[in-house]
Amino acid sequence: MNTLDPWGAVKIDNYTKLFDEFGISRFDELLGNIKNPHRYMRRHIIFGHRSYDSVLDAMITGKPFAAMSGFMPSGKAHLGHKMVMEMIIWHQQQGGDAFLAIADMEAHAVRNISWEKCRELGINEYILSAIALGLEPGAHVYFQSKSDHVRDLAFELGVKANFSELSAIYGFSGETNIAHMVSALTQSADILQPQLKEFRGPKPVVIPVGADQDPHIRLTRGLAYKVNMFIIEKRPGNDKSYISVRGKAAPKEALKEIAKRTGGKLYEEHVDVFALSSEEVEAVVRDVELRYGGYAFMPPASTYHKFMTGLQGGKMSSSVQESFIALSDKPEEGAKKVMRAITGGRVTIEEQKEKGGEPEKCSVYELLLFHLIEDDSELMEVYKDCVGGTRVCGVCKKHAAERMKEFLKGHQEKMELARERLGEFGI
Ligand code: TRP
Ligand code: SF4
């Protein structure tokens, strides 16, 4: 290796095919336009996106935007959940609306968790952690089962979703219980809820997710498109492309109004617009659609982040205790897990001195990169010392374990303080 790449520890190889095959865009291209990029952005842990330009544009021009995610209360919140929470919080700090769903309907339908347990885990594991990490009042924190908006919207989306499409994504079969299917639509409703008129209408909304969650995002983008009243398409013309607005089941007067306001040509079921940009047409259509009672959803945006590997190598899995650190693990226990974690060290000290360590294979380095070191230059030092062979794993681990202990201790103190503030979040 001749160039120093402290972010290289996050392997992108497995992800590149996502770009080409599934139409996920590269996050790098947007990075230059982001004012205070989050650690995950700067370090290319967030590597891909769909439509994030729309969110960024709103952020820059001071228009409304939102970030949302949901958490299934079926176990402990761990460092992977922390990543998503941090992204929601970051967007709130940049002026966005924050939405945090506790997916109790999903946990109940899919994992058989009782409603009481859902409530307890939802609050104690997820909501308290999100507040401890910096979520501020004004955020919309809710349990799916308690939200009429979400449940009504899920039903409405169900009109446009069929069994084949859902089963292709979620692997449903004849044995799948119906509530499980409903909870898939409920997740789509969570994602679209921030755009309801009750929340100030259509706006760019980002859903920060792990790379494997893209099928859900695509499903929801598809549903948003299907429940809208109008379809806007760019068409190639003879000398210049034009924009066609089709109103599937739209009222005649609505289509007429669109023709009038865009100067377009009105047909039986569509309007062709020649002189405006797509943004201009979209704005008119959205306005008209809303006045005629439609949703006018924008396709939800997403960012994709890489996963951390498990502390023992392999996958991080909530069913393998030693593979992850929970935000409610006792500080000493968290530190011990770090001490037992797999490193990128060589077999002998001599070899390590000679060849240097391999941070790209090291789960301890990953903890530093993802969570424990905020300052980029400090991380760069660790990286250099590791590959240069002057850092030895024993000392390095102790360092990381100490930091983990400090983090967990501080975090859990903040969680207890957060308990007093639940009321500010309507809980
Ligand atoms: N299905 C997600 C999980 O398994 C939880 C979830 C519910 C969610 N609603 C959401 C995630 C909306 C993102 C956006 O954890
Ligand atoms: Fe990992 Fe630290 Fe060892 Fe390098 S020195 S391989 S970063 S534990």
Looking at all shown ligands, the one closest to residue 66's CA atom is 1
Residue 60 belongs to some domain of the structure: yes
- Ligand 1 centre from 198 Cα, in Å? 21
Using a cut of 0.85, tell me whether the model's pTM lies above it. Answer: yes
DSSP SS3 for 164 = helix
Residue 55 belongs to some domain of the structure: yes
pLDDT tens digits for range 170-198: 889 999 999 999 999 999 999 999 999 99
Same domain for 244 and 382, yes or no, is no
Same domain for 103 and 148, yes or no, is yes
Same domain for 210 and 121, yes or no, is yes
Same domain for 276 and 379, yes or no, is no
> For residue 69, what is the domain's CATH number?
3.40.50.620
Residue 83 belongs to some domain of the structure: yes
pLDDT tens digits for range 215-250: 899 999 999 999 999 999 999 988 888 999 999 778
DSSP SS3 for 325 = coil
Q: Which pLDDT score is estimated for 2?
A: 36
Same domain for 156 and 19, yes or no, is yes
Looking at all shown ligands, the one closest to residue 78's CA atom is 1
Same domain for 186 and 245, yes or no, is no
pLDDT tens digits for range 263-278: 999 999 999 999 999 9
Same domain for 218 and 253, yes or no, is no
Number of H helices, E strands in the chain: 19, 11
Residue 215 belongs to some domain of the structure: yes
> For residue 420, what is the domain's CATH number?
1.10.240.10
- Kindly state if the Cβ of 391 falls inside 6 Å of ligand 2: yes
Q: Which pLDDT score is estimated for 20?
A: 73
Confidence of residue 313 (pLDDT cuts 50, 70, 90): confident
- Kindly state if the Cβ of 78 falls inside 6 Å of ligand 2: no
Same domain for 268 and 370, yes or no, is no
Same domain for 276 and 327, yes or no, is no
Closest-CA residue, ligand 2 atom 5, reads 393
Domain residues for the domain of 349 are: 321-425
Residue 103 belongs to some domain of the structure: yes
Same domain for 331 and 419, yes or no, is yes
Residue 312 belongs to some domain of the structure: no
Do 173 and 167 meet the contact criterion of CB atoms below 8 Å apart?
A: yes
Structurally, the chain folds into a number of domains equal to 3
Residue 311 belongs to some domain of the structure: no
Confidence of residue 129 (pLDDT cuts 50, 70, 90): very high
Q: Which of 53, 84, 43 is CA-nearest to residue 67?
A: 84
Same domain for 172 and 259, yes or no, is no
Ligand 2 test: best mutation among 391, 395, 404, most atoms within 8 Å of CB?
Answer: 391
Calpha distance 240→280 (Å, rounded): 17
- Ligand 2 centre from 389 Cα, in Å? 9
Residue 310 belongs to some domain of the structure: no
End-to-end CA distance of the chain: 52
DSSP 228: S
Q: Please give the C-alpha separations between residue 211 and each of 47, 214, 400, in angstroms, as whole numbers.
A: 9, 6, 26
Q: Which pLDDT score is estimated for 316?
A: 80
Same domain for 390 and 283, yes or no, is no
Contacts of 416 (CB under 8 A, 6+ apart): none
